[in-house]
Chains A and B, each alone.
Chain A
């Protein structure tokens, strides 16, 4: 009996200790200075990972046999903005991809024009921030040459992706990457998944593929690409829909 009550006391003390510790952690993270410190490790991670990896180092490419039987769709999977619904109703005939910002000559492309461009096809692994992975085959033009065609201003540091979906009904989805990632040899604007036109769940008509980044960096339902020198003035200022909600900007791990 004594043994039992001692054991239950120890168990209760352990649970109480753990609860106190966790409450302490949560209170610390609620402190804005501490939270800033916690999130600052993202820059360190980015710096070190970039130093350890060659600029053009390729993500693993797989064979046809590795392709997932059904590619999971996540996040926005069926956008309901009036703009998107209208474009979808006409099979994206009136959809245009606008490339602008810090460029000499902004321009726009229709879906047919994009499909007619020289394309790269790659079978790669998609890693979601949640932890799961899925392998799919993506086809589309390289992003780099499309930016070059507009003439990138030397002040440009980031590429911002504008989207047509408003995840959860609050704020339009957007993302941003460093200019060097836009020129990576596997960074494409995919209009096809597994040899079929990109399904709505995976970002129809066009999404970006960044094969060395987590899924949330790879904006779907693309409508605009903007070159900027700072992310500060855009939406929440953190460089992306999820970044404005606390997620890490680098997105490489």
Chain B
């Protein structure tokens, strides 16, 4: 975060550090909205590069997955015993998509296992064409997209982590404080009731937000890169210890898939929260850096 960071500044000191939005200073506003500089330039640039990377990596990753749309546990593929399989079979002359999770089977025609391509016909394919890069089956180009953007993702993410620690962004904005932990329960309730922090509280990340970001930047991000590398037979010669530690090469492929699913889940929740807590204000703060702090409601209004 920006100028107003997680330090416990007295409320009276905050407007002095930010420019007031309320035009005529004579009108006694009970709690004037003010604009802070929320995200610094490196974070804004790295964030949007990351968005492009993740979208391309997801689309091309699903294309690669479609070349063998099944997941296994262990070093090798036990073809009769997949953890997950997006298959297709013909029932009464019609193609049906079947998703298998362990021993459970679900008919997922139209989405998983069999879906319509641009020709309007059902085709056997794991994920549908509107989710894959390229849209039609092409493992070679899917791999080109995936590895090129994996490199960009890796460099971008490395810059982000280095900057985050070097600039103390990590220590002052992302690491949960003792107070954060104390307010954990209240934060959960607030999220469930779609109550968003206002006033001085809105100048910092809340504890669930911090934990979600930490999970992504310290666990899912590095984890998905390492599990991708663990699938490389060439690197297997030097990273075998890691491959064995996560259960084998096919387990690494499963972990890679699960980490991707975790990132997709994060992205959904993230975009949802951005939408419901002031979309344009949030979007602006990630483009120009400026964030209008929501006005605090009077907590103990004597009129009521």
Contact = CB atoms under 8 A, between A and B. Distances in A.
Q: A and B: real partners? A: yes
Nearest to B241: A60
Interface stretch (B17-25, B100-108, B231-239): B231-239
Contact of A60 (B56, B134, B236, B253): B236
B64 interface: yes
B136 to A, nearest CB: 8
Nearest to A19: B130
A63 B131 CA distance: 40
| Category for how many chain B residues contact A | 35 or more
Nearest to B151: A41
Nearest to B132: A22
Contacts of B235: 49, 52-53, 252-253
Interface in B39-65: 55-56, 59, 64-65
Interface in B114-147: 129-135, 138-141, 143-145, 147
B119 to A, nearest CB: 15
Contacts, number: 142
Interface stretch (B73-81, B182-190, B210-218): B73-81
B233 A127 contact: yes
B243 interface: yes
Interface string B225-266: 000010111111110100110000110010000000000000
A10 to B, nearest CB: 10
A219 to B, nearest CB: 16
Interface residues of A, number: 53
B288 interface: no
Contacts of B141: 29, 35, 38, 246
B236 A59 contact: yes
B171 interface: no
B133 A59 contact: no
A44 B154 CA distance: 13
Contact of B233 (A18, A26, A213): A213
Contact of A125 (B76, B129, B135, B139): B76
Interface string B77-102: 10100000000000000000000000
Interface of A: 15, 18-19, 21-23, 25-26, 29, 35, 37-42, 44-45, 49-50, 52-54, 57-60, 62, 66, 68, 72, 125, 127-135, 211-214, 242, 245-248, 250, 252-253
24 contacts: A22-B134, A22-B135, A25-B59, A25-B133, A25-B134, A42-B144, A49-B232, A49-B235, A52-B235, A54-B238, A60-B75, A60-B240, A66-B76, A68-B76, A128-B68, A129-B143, A131-B65, A132-B77, A135-B76, A212-B237, A246-B138, A246-B141, A250-B234, A252-B232
